[in-house]
Structure 1
Amino acid sequence: MINKENVIIKDMFQPAHIDPSKSEKIAKPSLNFWQDAWLRVRKNKGAVTSMIILAIIIIMAFVGPMLTPYDFDHQNTKHNNLPPRIQGLENIHWLPFDGTLTRRNGTEYNAYEARNIDAYYWFGTDSLGRDIFARVWKGTQISLLIAFLAAVIDMIIGVAYGAISGYIGGRVDSVMQRIIEVLVGIPNLIIVVLMILVLKPGIIPIVIALTITGWTSMARVVRAQVLKFKNQEFVLASKTLGASDTSIVFKHMIPNMFGVIIINTMFSIPNAIFFEAFLSFIGLGLQEPFASLGTLVDDGFKSMIAFPYQMIIPSIMIALIMVCFNLVADGLRDALDPKMRD
């Protein structure tokens, strides 16, 4: 640097002024593990969109049956097999909510006007005249209940079994793992079908049947995590300070694997929904007058050609729930355990 006379002088060089109080100032607030994971989840548009859709579906599963004046189990044979009809949309002919059906010769007619029925069924009615809108949301409620119950029981049994097996090790671990291999070796469908045949079909028997072998994958994952943590410093420090084995496993190890447990539980929910729908579709699910998404698909399949909406609507609901849960599970996997990302 030079002055006007192009002469460099010593006064031009001054030390920079540094404020010691700001030298180690953190520009952003510190984040814990869950806050950091949530930031990563928010960047996943598919996971966020799926969370919103699932929240709407769960709310509608409880609120939906109350939005219609018809009960899900109320039968009115005079109104059987009516197509969807919604107020305000019935005059828009390119939407499938105007109450029209197609005859075998290809001509269309308004089923409500032909039968002189002044009513609105948003998703139509089934062969017994029951409102499909109320039955779909009631079936969604029951299917989600069965799936969440099965997932929670799988998580509890799998975490406890896997943690005990991995922490004790030795001969106990070998015996416990052979038990899992025997259960895994038997086809899951055979066990579930036998359980349903022995017990009367219902929510509790279906949950029990789903959890007989459903916990094995969780147990294996937890066992692997316990084996990884078993010789790490925080576990050795806890042993040195006199912590009991129960305290080490359930207060130190398991909280460090919450991410893996949540991910596996989220993946098990859509599997349980699909398996329950499959059991209901083959006639081993819930019995009348109760309804699940699987029983609705089964009922609609019997009249699929004449009244396709009776099967399409619950099928779309099953597909939507399964896709959303899988996308949320993928997003949580990438956020909670980025090393698991392919």
Structure 2
Amino acid sequence: MTNSAEKIPKHQFEPAPKTNLESEKIERPQISATKDAWLRVRKNKGALVSIAVLLFVIVMAIIGPYLSPHDGYEQNVTRANLPPRVPVLEDMGIFDGSHEVGGVEENKYKDLNIEEYYWFGTDSLGRDLFTRVWLGTRVSLYIAILAAVIDMIIGVTYGLISGFKGGQVDNVMQRILEVISGIPNLIVVILMLLILKPGILSITIAMVITGWIGMARVVRGQSLKLKDQEYILASRTLGSSNGRLLFKHLLPNLSGVIIINTMFTIPSAIFFEAFLSFIGIGLQAPEASLGTLIEEGYQTFQFLPHLMIIPCIVICIILITFNLIGDGLRDAFDPKMRD
């Protein structure tokens, strides 16, 4: 009987050359946590579309007021309450400056021999609504940036110190937090009005006082959870200082939670400003914000619905895009969502 091993060529039994490192070669390149999260965000179509729409809104808030030949603060009562009129679209029978009043269709542009175009129409004082909408959007974006900065600086710092120190320091800091959180934002704004005039400054101070509480609580809870992990204890054993533990180990591992919480805080802050302006304790005339525009349009909604509908659409777009981006970032940074 022939031995089966003789049928196998001898060169197949030779060991691999010592210089051959193919067996240790990593086929997939190593990527950072940030890049890994971005790769997963790219798979979320809703988040990508929201980012594109939000970028468009930001660009329009910057350049929009300069696109219109009409000033957003200039009053001309002879051109009050004009409906939208847009070039090209008027040839299709839409946005041609005509609207129905008392069951009768009329065109004020033709009646007053107005040759200019008001893309979003005018308000009750003849001011260009297109310019004022994008001026109001600037205020909303300012509130968004302010809310993010407050969360990042005050909320994260307060929560990190409270959670990392623990013990008596944590107890004292949490009692202070409970006292501050017991005061509603609206009460803080009203108290600011006793000292300052109604406007963006009073809203800013109110947000600085109470707007960071949610972030501080989230960061504090995560810090309590992470500070006893093995890698933190190992780093402490090796002699790392508290600053290195905070900024080298804790903060990078909290970045996902911080970004997600900030993206969900921003819509609430924008809505808070719009609500204050709507009830009359936010921005005051002639300044424009989406809240004041909605309040002005609300008074004539049955006759001139575009005065309220257009700013409502813009603020809804901003709120929806931030929420969808927050959902996408939450899925991207959540380890349980890894595929």
Report SS of the residue matched to 1:306. coil
Deviation, structure 1 residue 203: 2.0
How far, CA to CA, are the matches of 1:35 and 1:80 in structure 2? 52
**Counterpart check, 1:101 vs 2:96:** no
1:327 is the counterpart of 2:315: no
Q: Tell me how far apart the structure 2 counterparts of residues 202 and 209 of structure 1 sit (CA, whole Å).
A: 11
Displacement after TM superposition at 1:8 (Å): 11
Matched, 1:220 2:217: yes
Code of the aligned partner of 1:98 = D
Q: Out of 238, 262, 266, which is 2:263 matched to?
A: 266
Say if 1:77 and 1:128, in contact at 8 Å, map to a contact too: yes
CA separation in 2, counterparts of 1:302 and 1:51?
33
Structure-1 residue corresponding to 2:228: 231
1:287 aligns with 2:287: no
* Equivalent position SS for 2:260: helix
Over 3 Å counting, the alpha-carbon distance change for 1:241 and 1:182 in structure 2 is: same
Answering whether residue 80 of structure 2 is matched by residue 80 of structure 1, we say yes
Looking at structure 2, the residues matched to 181 and 340 of structure 1 have their Cα atoms a distance apart, in angstroms, of: 33
Q: Using a 3 Å threshold, how does the CA distance of structure 1 residues 235 and 115 change in structure 2: closer, same or farther?
A: same
- Matched to 1:310, the amino acid is L
Determine if contact 2:189/2:202 at 8 Å carries over to the other structure. Answer: no
Deviation at 1:200, TM superposition (A): 1.4
SS at match of 2:91: coil
Letter in 2 for 1:331: G
CA offset at residue 212 of structure 1? 2.0
Q: What is the RMSD of the two structures over their aligned residues, measured on CA atoms?
A: 2.2
Residue type matched to 2:28 in 1? K
1:111, distance to aligned residue in structure 2 (A): 1.8
Q: Does 1:36 align with 2:33?
A: no
Bigger drift between 188-197 and 310-319 goes to 188-197
Aligned with 1:315 (options 307, 312, 316)? 312
- Pair 1:170 & 2:178 matched: no
- SS class of match (2:99): strand
- Cα pair 1:146 1:203 within 8 Å, conserved: no
Aligned twin of 1:51: 51
SS state at 1:109 partner: strand
**What is residue 63 of structure 1 aligned with on the other side?**
63
Q: Deviations over 1:132-153 (max 9, x none)?
A: 1111111101211122113211
| 1:269–1:325 Cα contact (<8 Å) kept | yes
User: Quick check: 1:150–1:208 contact (8 Å CA) kept in 2?
Assistant: no
Structure 2 spans left out of the alignment, 5+ residues: none
Q: Deviations over 1:103-125 (max 9, x none)?
A: 11x22121211222111000001
Where does structure 1 differ by over 4 angstroms across 4 or more consecutive aligned residues?
Answer: 7-12, 16-19
Are the equivalent residues in 2 in contact too, given 1:72–1:132 (CA < 8 A)?
A: yes
Q: For 2:238 and 2:24, how far apart are their aligned partners in 1? A: 35
Q: Which of residues 132, 137, 148 in structure 2 aligns to 1:135?
A: 132
Stretch deviating more after TM superposition (283-292 or 78-87): 283-292
On the 8 A contact 1:125/1:132 being kept in 2, the answer is yes
What's 1:183 paired with? 180
Supply the distance in 1 between the matched residues of 2:216 and 2:4 (Cα, whole angstroms). 76
Bigger shift: residues 156-165 or 9-18: 9-18
TM-score normalised by structure 1 residue count = 0.90
Q: Which amino acid aligns with 1:13?
A: I
TM-score, normalised on structure 2?
A: 0.91
Question: How far does the alpha carbon of each residue in 1:30-65 deviate from its partner, in whole angstroms, 9 at most, with x for none?
Answer: 211111101110111110000000000001100111
Which of 130-139 and 183-192 deviates more? 183-192
